[in-house]
Structure 1
Amino acid sequence: MHIRLNLASHLTIALALGLGLPGCNTADLGSTSDGTASSSSGGDESSPIDDVEPDPWLTEVYQPIQEQAQQMTVADFLAEYPEPAYVNGVSYAALDAVGLPEISAYAGLGAQHDEFIAANGFVAVPSDAPNPAWSYHELYYNDLPVLITTDSVLYALHASFDALLEDLERKLMASEIEAMVVEMHQQLASDLGALPATLDTTARDLDVYLTVARTLIEGEPIAAVTGADAQTEVDRILVAADGLQPLEISLFGVDVTYDFSQLKPRGHYEGDELLERYFRAMIWLGRTDMAMVTYDEAGTPAFNRRGLDAAFVSNMLLAQSGADARWSKVNMIIEKLIGERDSMGPQDMVKFMADTGIADYAGLAAADDDALYKALVDSPYGIQRIMSQIMFTDPVDPPVVLPRVYLVMGQRFTIDSYIFNNVTYDRVQNLRTGEKVARMLPSELDVAFGLGNNTAAHHLQPELDAYGYQGVLHELRFLIDAHPADFWDMSFYSGWLAALRSLNFGDDFDQRPEAMRTRAWGDKNLNTQLASWAELRHDTLLYVKQSYSGGIGCEYPDAYVEPAPAFYDSMVHLGQLGQSLADDLAADGVDVAEMKDYFTSFEGTMATLGQISHKELEGAALTTEEFDFLRGAVEQEMVGCGEILWDGWFVDLLYDREKVEDVAAVIADTHTAPTDAQGNAKGWVFHAAAGKPTLVVLTVEDCSGVRAFVGPGSSFHTVLTENYARMSDSEWKQKLEEGPQPRPKWTGSFLVD
């Protein structure tokens, strides 16, 4: 038997098959709901997923990469991904730069900072400014030559995306999700008398599921509709939800260790009653799966009829209540903003129901186990690419095969979570030996390398020497690089990652100022990418599937745009993606006029910065209009009784101007490790964080001599907690108030605390 998977591309197939790495979803023989063996392929014991018709791309292009990865040493890997041709230092007298004495006095630079400037032509130092807008205002007020940084543009993107998403959640998404679960639950109560007796357990499971969801989003106790047994389980789950610790629960025919720590509101949801309720309900709906095929330690599949029945009935409740229209509206927003689901969802189930010819409860009850199982495993439905639950496995067992699951509002697949998933236990292998590697925690550098930063690979050498996973990184990088342009346009999240990729040094490297061709600037660039990635994860943590991990002022005397033309071009494209998103939402009846105006303005500003950036690299003169533009980044005026009026093109990059004075620091949990390498319970949670802005002092040599500029930089941190403690923004900001927080060792090449 041969089947052709209806997937978007050969790359999607490669991802679905798990990179050809351990843990790919293979399913051959199943079992019935009573646990007896069930052959669903007429004696053909080959895996339907493994039996895909060969794709020429997989055999001709990807297979040689896999073979190379299996033989690759650390030295081979680092040679495959060389660093840019960094200069050893600047050749000019950077300390003689015009404007540097004034900048030094303002920033409090001393002898150690001078050493960095003399060697590399720049340095970064901590700042007391709460965010880049304040940084620009203070530089403006002090008549200092200003550096327009990519860091500040990315901060504006984050602040605006976060505010925009919050606006959509308040105006539309929270109310639609609440109405959806209420209508599904009411439909269940109405249908109880019509359900065949064989679906009684399914009704009880869905009652528990929907009662918990309603209680979380409505903020008050909701009664179960199927009786005392369901109510007892609801009460037990709600106690665990408040306890924020893992707990064993049994639902939809599977016993799982459910990580209730994920229900702690964080990000922009923290401290707001409506958004906290929405957050908790969406975590429940996005992480509580209905497993249809499960796998034991040996990777042997078992058909879970109870989970499949629940998925069928859940979809029927959506359709019969009319709540599917609400689901579609919210799903469309999340899909456009974040990306596709990493599970089977309602849209897939509609197709699956059509494939099986089941249209009602009676048809479901009468359906044969073998026929349902065969229809499921002969399709791609329910395949997961990211492990996001607590699962325990023995180091000598084969890697865990993820169950095929259905979720009503499943969390989303993203490239960065996929990277973390494949470089940690128990997915990661030393491909040269075939052994599983007990690497429990990822590194931020894994993501940076996956997104194209070769310098990150060289910082990873100690990890590679310890765990030997360079072949896995090689395959990941190949697959990510091979994605076509339209992949990066599929969602705003992917477009943001594409913008970070565009910061990697390209063909214009030799044209850049000498200071920007030092290894230290390479590390500064890495810091910029990762701080923005932390902000992206912060803004989307609810939806991304985590791996289990006054007066008159004066003009700027001078200004310089950090020359990164490809970056500004990608930001122009991101502005266009935002406008397209607004058009899609408007067509669905959502009032997004402000969003459309914002992204139109954003596109124009990025185009201007890109034009100036090109001219700087080419040594061309700026026009009067371009100089005027640079002088107008931030304007602040006192009006009325102490009210501050903010203006300027950088302020216009902020979707919500009322947040212009907010502290920039944010944090997001990105990966969870239940145990250490010895199996001891740890509950490690790996966080990525952005701190308060730094000040970047940069010297540039041109035909007029050496000049100095200063602008806001970003600050990247990692935080590791235990016992499933997930840090919120307020807790992170409190840490920063207590004193300087540790930074990655590699930031020491350019940043002096």
Structure 2
Amino acid sequence: MHRILPALVLGAALLIAGCATVDDASPPAPTVEGAAAENDTDFAHSYTLKPLEVTPSAPQYALPLDPGTVTNWEEVVAALSLGEEEQALLKEHGFVVAAYPFGDQDEIVGPYRTLGEHDVPLFLSSDTLLHLYHAQFDDTLRRVEEREFFDDLRALDVALLNASEKAYRQSSGEAKEAARLNMGYYAVAATLLAPDAEQVGDGFDPEDVKRYHVDVPAPVRDEVEAELALIDRQAGLTPSPLFSYTEDYTQYRPRGHYTQSERLKNYFQAMMWHGRMPFLLNATRQVPEEEARIQTAAAARTAALLADDPDLMEHWDRVYEVTAFYVGYADDLGPEEYIAAMERLFGGAKQDLTPDEVDALRQELRTLDPPAIYSGTGYQNVGSPEEARKALNATMGFRFMGQRFVPDSYFFSELVYPYTGEFTGAGEPFTLVGGYRSVPTGLDVMALLGSEQARTLLDRGEDSAYAKYDPAYGRLEAELAALNESAWRQNLYWGWLYSLRPLLVEFGEGYPTFMQTSAWQEKELTTSLASWTELRHDTILYAKQSYTFGKGPATSPEKPEIPGYVEPVPEAYHRLGALNAMTADGLFDLDVLDPAAQRRLRDLGDVIDRFTDLSVKELEGVPLTADDHAFIRDAAETLDDLVINLEARTTLVADVHSDPYEKIVLEEGVGPVDLIVVACPEPDGAVTLCAGPVLSYYEFTHPLDDRLTDEAWREMLREAPPTRPWWTGEYAVVA
């Protein structure tokens, strides 16, 4: 489990309330001190960040900008076809974001080459490095999933299926029913991994069809076939044939990078099954007491089987630890917690528990932390925060490879119905659906990460105009403020968020003039939201998604030296460099880093260091050298090497929150790149227009039964793209 955030149980909206067997009192909240101490034993040691000393004293110029003071105004305006509206914003703020003028472009390196061919000085953006890190993160994860985790997971499922079938034949009574449930559970997972004939040629060969075939045991064949049919249809909110409680089968649509091969599609569905389906600890309205006992006995048997077989535990631990390094630890109880509980009670893990031992184990497990994020299990209406908190324990239970606690999903679960109360505004904000705050917004995340501008936009757009929003937001803000620095370094997910925080501050005196505007804060907000979207896209299988309750109750020729500029945010680059090094070192230590990925991460680290050094020079008014100018001018050639053989398109999408009551999901998307044009100051007092690509960002709701893949998103962008967030119009002229 290993979560890092204080007072987790304050949120964690839950399901299926009103069961007499569940204690009405919420468990005690974890403490900040305990969370920090636990975090110190995890991956934070892989992250090294030395202080960066910078004294901003960049040259300034007056706004609104006088084109007559800019050395290349007419040339750049003509080369980039900037219209009157774009020029007006450029004069007002010292920069403007516009549509990329050379056709839709969904990769971030090519535009630098094209701009250079038009003799436009280059502006190297933070967006570029963040996107290139995403490409490395996503590719390394995808490769280890295909190369190793698929077979690790299959070995686990087949072995546990066989052991469950044997136990079923040898057991009686409650133990036999527990073995039967496990038999069905692992048969579903093993069958999801197995290819059919139509999948041969894309990740599978003909022999794989025979090699991975699963003979489903007769006693569970009907239920397994019914589960597989629901998964295949992505059938929505439907009672599980095996578990009785309601499951959201739309979650089994492969998304993110998992559409890139048939092998990844199968892995996605099997891992989603293991991440979402709990063996519940307590009885609920949908799961009677007898069934809860059977589910607990079944979970205990799985945990004991792993404890008794070092080879099986090695397979499980390898998948869990590597994915924990990327995303974090599970939000739910798992094998480790069940093994430890049995060791405390019985002196060791036991495959066969007596009825009294099942009772004792359930009582022991109830003393542990419940999940913090409601993920839709056993979907149920609640009418108040109190009902939701009393229902918290009802989702407690065992997940074989539980989805991970991530802070942004936790924020979302706390900032929607029923925790935010009734709408008190007069307009129609984005978050208002069905009379309540049914969906959160990425602005919630950015505000809590430190963006005062995001909080201002929440207020201006009435997305905070709910009776209880401010108290809920304040609790989360206090929890984050109490975290020590190591909490932000516990894994790559948190480290990515930590790298965004320097972009979300207000840039004061000494920074370039264009950066001191509120418009620049909104540009950086867009960059951060787009990068966060890429993070959620890459981790869509593992990050636990929040839900809303129901309501109701080669050598180049010589080139002339032309000016160029690096977006001067050295602290962001400094943290990204530490994160990149943590990625390389951690994956190497975990023995899952191939030589090509190791080289790319090393080269990316060199580029990040160069961005950092150039940023410091610019902020301190130090003239760039000829070598510095050559680095900026030749950026396309340098960056090309970082994306060879990678899927590095910017057009991607991720659903990050679900509201089954309104039958919608919150989608976060990145589209083709935009163009930023910036009036960049030179140490000699000259002002030069420089341009480069930046990420675009979209946020919109979409039908629950049509969760978007990257391919579907790209089609939507071509045919009927959604509108951009309203506030981007203050600095951007885009369609």
TM-score range, shorter chain: 0.7 to 0.9
- Work out which of the residue numbers 434, 451, 454 in structure 1 matches 2:452: 454
Shift, 1:294, TM fit:
4.7
1:566 aligns with 2:571: yes
1:680 aligns with none
Matches within 5 A, 1:310-709: 310-320=298-308, 322-357=311-346, 359=348, 363-380=352-369, 382-389=370-377, 391-395=379-383, 398-399=387-388, 401-402=391-392, 403-429=395-421, 438-461=436-459, 462-505=462-505, 509-548=508-547, 552=556, 554=559, 557-586=562-591, 590-635=592-637, 648=638, 650-654=639-643, 657-659=644-646, 663-676=649-662, 683-702=663-682, 703-709=684-690
Q: Identity of paired residues, percent?
A: 26
Q: Is the 8 A contact 2:238 2:249 kept in 1?
A: no
Alignment CA distance shift 1:363-1:740 (3 Å):
closer
Alignment CA distance shift 1:48-1:125 (3 Å):
closer
Shift, 1:174, TM fit:
1.2
Alignment CA distance shift 1:366-1:395 (3 Å):
closer
Shift, 1:699, TM fit:
0.6
The TM-score with structure 1 as length reference comes to 0.82
Shift, 1:310, TM fit:
1.5
1:205 aligns with 2:176: no
2:45 aligns with none
Shift, 1:704, TM fit:
2.6
2:635 aligned partner, one-letter code: A
1:241-275: CA deviations, max 9, x gaps? Answer: 111122433467x5322111111111111141111
Alignment CA distance shift 1:399-1:598 (3 Å):
same
Alignment CA distance shift 1:216-1:301 (3 Å):
closer
Matches within 5 A, 1:102-141: 102-127=75-100, 128-141=104-117
Alignment CA distance shift 1:454-1:194 (3 Å):
same
Secondary structure of the residue aligned to 1:718 is: strand
- Work out which of the residue numbers 247, 252, 256 in structure 2 matches 1:267: 256
Shift, 1:582, TM fit:
2.3
Shift, 1:450, TM fit:
1.6
Alignment CA distance shift 1:536-1:140 (3 Å):
same
1:367 aligned partner, one-letter code: D
Alignment CA distance shift 1:122-1:7 (3 Å):
closer
2:674 aligned partner, one-letter code: T
- Work out which of the residue numbers 214, 224, 229 in structure 1 matches 2:190: 214
- The CA RMSD measured in Å over matched residues stands at 3.2
- Show structure 2 runs of 5+ residues with no match: 36-59, 197-212, 425-433, 549-553
1:720 aligns with 2:701: yes
Secondary structure of the residue aligned to 1:412 is: coil
Secondary structure of the residue aligned to 2:315 is: helix
Equivalent-residue separation in structure 2 for 1:492 and 1:55 (angstroms): 21
Equivalent-residue separation in structure 2 for 1:741 and 1:430 (angstroms): 28
Alignment CA distance shift 1:519-1:693 (3 Å):
same
Alignment CA distance shift 1:487-1:296 (3 Å):
farther
Q: Is the 8 A contact 1:411 1:543 kept in 2?
A: yes
Shift, 1:687, TM fit:
0.5
Of structures 1 and 2, the one with the larger relative CO (CA 8 A, separation 6+) is: 2
Equivalent-residue separation in structure 1 for 2:325 and 2:697 (angstroms): 27
The TM-score with structure 2 as length reference comes to 0.84
1:244 aligns with 234
1:79 aligns with none
Q: Which moved more, 1:384-393 or 1:158-167?
A: 384-393
Secondary structure of the residue aligned to 1:399 is: helix
- Work out which of the residue numbers 206, 223, 238 in structure 2 matches 1:233: 223
Alignment CA distance shift 1:148-1:294 (3 Å):
farther
Equivalent-residue separation in structure 1 for 2:466 and 2:664 (angstroms): 20
Q: Is the 8 A contact 2:2 2:330 kept in 1?
A: no
Secondary structure of the residue aligned to 1:30 is: coil
Secondary structure of the residue aligned to 1:132 is: coil
Q: Is the 8 A contact 1:669 1:687 kept in 2?
A: yes
Equivalent-residue separation in structure 2 for 1:268 and 1:219 (angstroms): 18
Secondary structure of the residue aligned to 2:98 is: strand
1:164 aligns with 140
Equivalent-residue separation in structure 2 for 1:555 and 1:667 (angstroms): 40
Equivalent-residue separation in structure 2 for 1:124 and 1:48 (angstroms): 49
Equivalent-residue separation in structure 2 for 1:740 and 1:26 (angstroms): 40
Q: Which moved more, 1:263-272 or 1:397-406?
A: 397-406
Equivalent-residue separation in structure 2 for 1:158 and 1:443 (angstroms): 22
1:199-227: CA deviations, max 9, x gaps? Answer: 121112111111111111113563332x3
Shift, 1:505, TM fit:
1.9
Equivalent-residue separation in structure 2 for 1:136 and 1:597 (angstroms): 23
- Show structure 1 runs of 5+ residues with no match: 1-5, 32-44, 59-86, 636-647, 677-682
Alignment CA distance shift 1:345-1:27 (3 Å):
farther
Equivalent-residue separation in structure 1 for 2:30 and 2:567 (angstroms): 49
2:729 aligned partner, one-letter code: G
Shift, 1:405, TM fit:
1.6
1:35 aligns with none
1:97 aligns with 70
Q: Which moved more, 1:21-30 or 1:618-627?
A: 21-30
Alignment CA distance shift 1:732-1:379 (3 Å):
closer
Alignment CA distance shift 1:471-1:239 (3 Å):
same
Shift, 1:378, TM fit:
2.7
Matches within 5 A, 1:253-292: 255-292=244-281
Alignment CA distance shift 1:238-1:556 (3 Å):
farther
1:84 aligns with none
1:671-704: CA deviations, max 9, x gaps? Answer: 110123xxxxxx1011000001000001123433
Segments of 4+ in structure 1 off by > 4 A? Answer: 21-29, 45-48, 52-58, 294-297, 300-303, 358-363, 429-432, 549-553
Shift, 1:356, TM fit:
1.7
2:251 aligned partner, one-letter code: Q
Equivalent-residue separation in structure 2 for 1:94 and 1:601 (angstroms): 39
1:514 aligned partner, one-letter code: T
1:281-304: CA deviations, max 9, x gaps? Answer: 11111111111125569xx99993
Equivalent-residue separation in structure 1 for 2:509 and 2:72 (angstroms): 25
1:630 aligned partner, one-letter code: I
Secondary structure of the residue aligned to 1:727 is: coil
Shift, 1:363, TM fit:
5.0
1:730 aligns with 2:728: no
